[in-house]
Amino acid sequence: MENNSDVIYRMLVQSVIDYAITMLKPDGTVASWNGGGLHVLGYRPDEIIGQHATLFYNEEDRRRGQLQRELDIAANAGRFETEGWRCRKDGSTFWAHVVIYPIRNEVARLVGFAAICRDCTRQQEQQHKEREQESRFRLLVEGVTDYAIYMLDHDGNVVNWNAGAQRAKGYVAEEIVGQHFSRFYSAQDRLGHVPEQNLQTAYRTGRFEDEGWRYRKDGSAFWAHVVIDTIRDDQGQLLGYAKITRDCTEQQRIRSEQREQEQRFRLLVEGVTDYAIYMLDVDGVVVNWNAGAERAKGYKAEEVVGQHFSLFYSSHERLNRTPEANLGIARKTGRFEDEGWRYRKDGSAFWAHVVIDAIHDDDGKLVGFAKITRDRTERREQEQQILRARDLAEAQSTQKTALSKFLDNIIANIPSCVIVEDAITREILLVNDRTQQLFGLSKSLIVNKRPHECMSPELSDYFNNLADVALRSEGMHEREQLLMTASGERILHTRATAINGQDARRNYLMLLVEDVTDQRAADARIHHMAHHDNLTSLPNRILFRQRLSEALRTAGQMQRQTAALCLDLDNFKNVNDALGHQIGDELLRSVAKRLRNALRDQDTLARIGGDEFAIVLPHVAGNDEASAVAQRLIEAIRPPVNIEGHNLSVGLSVGIALSTTITNTPEQLLRCADMALYEAKRNGRNRYEHFTLEMDDVARSRRLIENDLRDAISGGHLRLYYQPITNGDHHTIIGYEALMRWHHPIRGLIMPNDFIPIAEETGLIHMLGAFALYEACREAASWEGEQSVSVNLSPLQFKNSSLVPVVEGALKESGLDPARLEVEITESVLLDDSLGNIRTLQNLKALGVQIALDDFGTGYSSLSYLRSFPFDKIKIDKSFINDMGDSREALAIIRAITGMSRSLDIQITAEGVESDEQFAKLRDEGCTLFQGFLFGRPQPSELRLKTLG
C-alpha cells in the first residue's frame, strides 16, 4: 500500500506543470525535477539535476548569497515563502512565487529541502496595471467639481467653504464658517454625539468614511457620501480635517434599484446553478456560453462560440445526423428533451439530461434555441452501482457480508431517497438516511413494514401505484406529485424500477425519490419573471401577445369578437420629472391596481412599457361593450392618488380596436388600437377613440411621406430657398432667412408645414437640421459681400447633445465667419428644460453665432425670456403685422416690443411685411429690420435677390 502511495504521489508531482517542484540537497544542489520545472524554468531533468539552485538567481542575488539565506530561514522557521525575480535557462526573467520546506528524517536531521516555484509574472503585471489604474482614477477624482470640500479645525468647526459646498448644502460662507459641522446631522445624531464620534474615528485611524442622511440649510435631507481625512504637518502634528461630501441621493436610488434587480437575477441564477445554459442560432451554432457550460463541457467561450453544437455528440451520432434531428424536433414541436452520452473538450463522456427549447420573437419567427444541459453521470452511475452491487451480493454468497456493507455505504451517500421493496409482499427491505429525513421516521419504523403500515394513506397509495406500473412493464417509470411529508407539503419526483433477483421467483422494486420542491419553485419564478412586469407584476408584452392570440382563436370558434385596448397615462411624465422615479413607480403600481379592479377576471391587463398598458377583452358583443369598459377605466383613474403626501392626478387616453376579417391577427389588432390611441391623444386626451379605416388611411399616407422623406434626405431632393431681410432704407439686403423646400419627383414642391412635423415625430429633424446648417453655411460662404444667413432650429434639436458640435462643424467646414450665421428659436425652446437649453444657447453664443427669438409675442411669458438670455434679435410674429391696421391691441403690442427693444439695445425684425403702408408704419414705430413678400419671395441661392429697388 505504501509503495502504491509513493507511485501515486510521484505521478501527481510529475503531472503538475504550472509549478516547478524540486528536491534540493542541504547544500542547495538539485536532487529531483518534475515536468513543471521544464515548463516554468526551461530545464530538462538531465540538464539540471546535480546543478546548484543558484542558477535560478540573478547575479546580484548570487553575490549577496540570497539562496543560502532562504535555506537557512526555512531550516530554522520550518518554512520560507517569498516573491521575486528568478531566471530561466534562456536568460529571461520572471516574477516568481517561491515556497521552501525543510525535509528531515526520523531523528530530525535535515536531509534536504522541497522547493515549489510558480510563474506569477502575469499576476504581477496585472497588479502593476491596477496600481496605474488607481493613479488615473485618483487624478480623475481630483478633477470632479460636484463635491462639497471644506476644512475643519481640531474641534470640528468649519474653517473654509467652497462653491460645491454652497451648492450641496445651501449655506454661503459667511453663514457657516466658524460653526460646528454637526449642524449638517439630524437632531437625533447630534443627541447621540455621532458627529464627534466620526471625528474621533478620523483622528484615531486617519480617515472616516460613511454614507447617510445629511441636511441642508432649508431642512431638506439628502443621501451623502462623506469622507473625513486628518491633515497633519511634517512632524505629525494635527492641523485639522479635510471633509468631502457628495450628494448621492440619485445614486442611492439607482443602487437600490440595482440591488432589487440583482436579487431578482440571483433568484433566477440560483435555480439553475447546476446547468450548462447557452443559446444556439437557427442553424445550431453556439451563440453564447455561460460558466456552467464551461464547467460541464470544458470549453471556454472563445473556443466554442461560433461552433456547431454537434461537436458535443459522438462521431457515430454526427454521421447519423442525430444533432440535426434533435434540433428538428425542437423546431417542429417547440421542445426536445432527452438523456444520453455527450462529450467534453478532453474527449471524456458524461451522461447528460438535455433540453432544447425553440425561441420565437413577438411575431412568431424562430430566432434560435435555448439549450440546457445537466451532467447526470454521477446519478446514473449511482443507480447502476446499486443494481450491480445487488446482483453481485446475491451471486457471491461468500462475500455477502462485505458486499452488503459496501452497498449500504453507497446507498447512504446517494443524494436521493432510496426505497427497496419485495415485489410480492411489498415489504420494505432497505432505506437510506435521506428517506428517514424526508418521512420523519427512523429506519426501524420503516424497514420490514409495508408502505401503508408506516406512511400516510396518501404517500402509500402514491408509491404502490407507481410500483404497480413498474411491475406491469419493464423499464424505469417516473411520476411527480405534491404530497404531505414530515417536512410539510413537498413535490416528490419518483422513479420506480423492477429488478430481477438471482432466483427468477424473487423480484424487487427500487424507488428513487427526489424532493424537487425548491427546483420547481425556482422554475416557476423564472417562468413568472419571463412573462410578467417586475414593477407591477402584470403580464408583460410576451404574455399579452399569447393571451391576445388565444382570445382571437376562441373568438373565431364562438362567433364573438375580441377587443384590444391601448392605454397611455396623461401627465405621467410631469409627475416623474417633478417628484422622481420612486414616486412615479408607486403611482404606476396604484394605477395598475385600479385598472385591474375595473376589469373582469377573464380580461388581461398588461404593462408593455413606461406608462403604457394594454388590455385584451375576450368575447365582447361589439363597440358599445368595449366603449363602456374604456369609460369605466377612465373614471377609475380620474380620482387623485395620494403618495407620500402628494395628491397626484393623471388622465387616461384609450384606443380601441375590435377583431374583424381585416384585424384578425395580434399584430394587426394591436397596431389598430395604437392608431386609435394616437387619435384620442390628438383630440384632447383623457378620452377614448375607436379605430376606423380612415385612421389607417391617414397612417398609410403618413408612412408614405415618411418613407419618401427618408429617400429625399438620402437622394438630395431637399433644397434651401433664401428670403431677403432688409434694413429701413428699403434698398439694402443685409441678410437672408434659409427656408427648406422639398422637390418631390411626383408630388412636386412640398412646403415645410407638410413634412417638418413628421420629421419631428420620427427623429429625422436632427438630420434635416444638420443638412440645413451645413448647406446654408456652405452657400453663404460663396456669396459676395457680408450678408448674414438665418437658419431655424426645431425645439427637438435642443434635446440632442450634438447640436453645438453640428453648428461648429458647419462653420469650420464652410469657413463662414460665425458672426454671419444667425440661428432662430421659438419660445417653446425656453419653455422646455429651460436651464439646459439656456446652457446650449450660451455655448452657441460662445461660437460667435447670432441668436434670434422668433414669433415673439405669441407666448404667455415672452418678457421673462428676455431676462434669461441676451438675444441679438427679436422677430415680431407676422400675425401682429397682418392685424395692426384693424386691431388696436396688435399695434399696442408692436409698440411695446419696439419700445422695450430700444431700452435693451436689441434689433427688431418685422416679418410678413406685404405692403408699403405696413413698411412705413413699422419703420415709424421703431422696427429696424424687415422681411416679407414686399421685399422678395424665397428663391434658391443662385436666383436670390441681391439688391432692392
Average pLDDT estimate for 24-45: 90
Residue-wise pLDDT tens digits, 174-202: 999 999 999 999 889 999 999 999 999 99
∠ at Cα 102 (101, 104), nearest 5°?
A: 140
Between CA 210 and CA 169 the distance in angstroms is 17
List, for residues 782-810, the tens digit of each pLDDT value. Answer: 998 899 999 999 888 888 888 999 999 99
Q: Is the pLDDT of residue 272 over 50?
A: no
State the average pLDDT over residues 64-74: 92
CA dist list (Å): 200 to 206, 243, 838? 9, 14, 46
Q: Is the confidence at residue 743, as pLDDT, over 80?
A: yes
Residues 94 and 121 sit within 8 Å (Cβ to Cβ): yes
3-state secondary structure of 217: coil
pLDDT (tens digit per residue) in 668-685: 898 899 889 988 988 888
What is residue 141's predicted lDDT score, i.e. its pLDDT?
Answer: 36
CA distance 770 to 382: 71
What does DSSP assign to residue 532?
A: B
Each residue of 706-725: pLDDT tens digit?
888 888 888 888 999 999 99
Instruction: Please report, as a single letter, which amino acid is at residue 367.
Output: V
Decide: 916 and 880 in contact? Cβ < 8 Å.
Answer: no
pLDDT value at position 72? 93
Q: What's the pLDDT at 410?
A: 67
Whole-angstrom distance, CA of residue 829 vs CA of residue 792: 12
CB-hemisphere CA count at 13 Å for 299? 22
**Ramachandran category for residue 748: left, alpha or beta (phi over 0 → left; psi -120 to 50 → alpha):** left
Confidence of residue 447 (pLDDT cuts 50, 70, 90): confident
Provide the Cα torsion 256, 259, 261, 266; round to 10°. Answer: -170
119: which 3 cell numbers?
510563474
Higher pLDDT: 355 or 130? It is: 355
**In contact, 278 and 371? CB cutoff 8 Å:** yes
Q: Contact, 292 vs 373, CB < 8 A?
A: no
Q: Residue type for 623, please?
A: N
Decide if pLDDT at 919 tops 60. Answer: yes
Band (pLDDT 50/70/90 cuts) for residue 26 is very high
DSSP for 779-826 reads HHHTSSS--EEEEE--GGGGGSTTHHHHHHHHHHHHT--GGGEEEEE-
Identify the CA nearest to 315 among candidates 292, 349, 287.
Answer: 349
Position 364 pLDDT exceeds 90: no
Strand extents, DSSP E, 663-717: 688-690
Q: Is the pLDDT of residue 140 over 80?
A: no
For 191-219, what is the mean pLDDT?
Answer: 91
Cβ atoms < 10 Å from Cβ of 386: 21
Question: pLDDT of 465-483, one tens digit each?
Answer: 888 887 777 677 888 888 8
Give residue 575's identity as a one-letter amino acid code: V
Helix runs in 56-193, H state only: 59-63, 66-77, 121-142, 163-169, 173-176, 187-191
Whole-angstrom distance, CA of residue 495 vs CA of residue 382? 14
The pLDDT of residue 7: 62
Give 866 or 180, the one with higher predicted confidence.
Answer: 180
CA 571 – CA 388 distance, rounded (Å): 73
pLDDT tens digit string along 496-538?
888 876 655 677 888 888 888 877 776 667 666 667 888 888 9
* Percent of residues, the chain, with pLDDT higher than 90: 33
Query: Per-residue confidence at 152, pLDDT binned at 50, 70, 90?
Result: very high
Contact 942, 922 (CB under 8 A): no
Q: What is the pLDDT of residue 246?
A: 87
Of 686, 680, 679, 683, nearest to 651 by C-alpha is 686
Of the candidates 242, 212, 222, 247, the one whose C-alpha atom is nearest the C-alpha of residue 230 is 242
Distance separating alpha carbons of residues 678 and 671, to the nearest angstrom: 11
pLDDT confidence band for 393 (50 / 70 / 90): low
Question: Is the per-residue pLDDT at 170 higher than 70?
Answer: yes
Q: Record the cell numbers describing residue 439, joined without a space.
A: 418521512
Could you tell me the pLDDT band of residue 444, with boundaries at 50, 70 and 90? Answer: confident
Return mean pLDDT, the chain.
Answer: 84
Read off the pLDDT band of 12 (50, 70, 90): low
Tell me the per-residue pLDDT of 335-349, one tens digit each, with 9 for 90 and over: 998 888 999 999 888
Distance CA 357, CA 370 (A): 5
Between 867 and 587, the more confident residue is 587
Closest CA to 681 of 761, 570, 763, 758: 570
Q: What is the structure's pLDDT at 661? A: 61
Q: Which of 106-120, 150-164, 256-270, 749-763 has the lowest mean pLDDT?
A: 256-270
User: Which SS3 state, helix, strand or coil, does residue 486 take?
Assistant: coil
Model confidence at 167: pLDDT above 80: yes
At a CB cut-off of 8 Å and minimum separation 6, what does 762 contact? 706
pTM of the model as a whole = 0.41
Confidence of residue 269 (pLDDT cuts 50, 70, 90): very low
Give pLDDT, residue 486.
80
Cα-based angle 497, 503, 505 (whole degrees, multiple of 5): 75
Asked if the model's pLDDT at residue 142 lies above 50, the reply is no
Q: Tell me the C-alpha to C-alpha distance, in Å, between residue 492 and each of 220, 476, 845.
A: 56, 16, 74
Q: How confident is the model at residue 406 (pLDDT cuts 50, 70, 90)?
A: low
Q: Is the pLDDT of residue 271 over 50?
A: no
Question: Is the confidence at residue 287, as pLDDT, over 80?
Answer: yes
Confidence of residue 741 (pLDDT cuts 50, 70, 90): very high
Residues in Cβ contact with 55 at an 8 Å cutoff, skipping those fewer than 6 apart: 48, 87
As a whole number, mean pLDDT of residues 57-75 equals 92
In the prediction, which pLDDT does 5 show?
A: 54
Which residue from 160, 19, 199 is spatially nearest to 99, judged by alpha carbons? 19
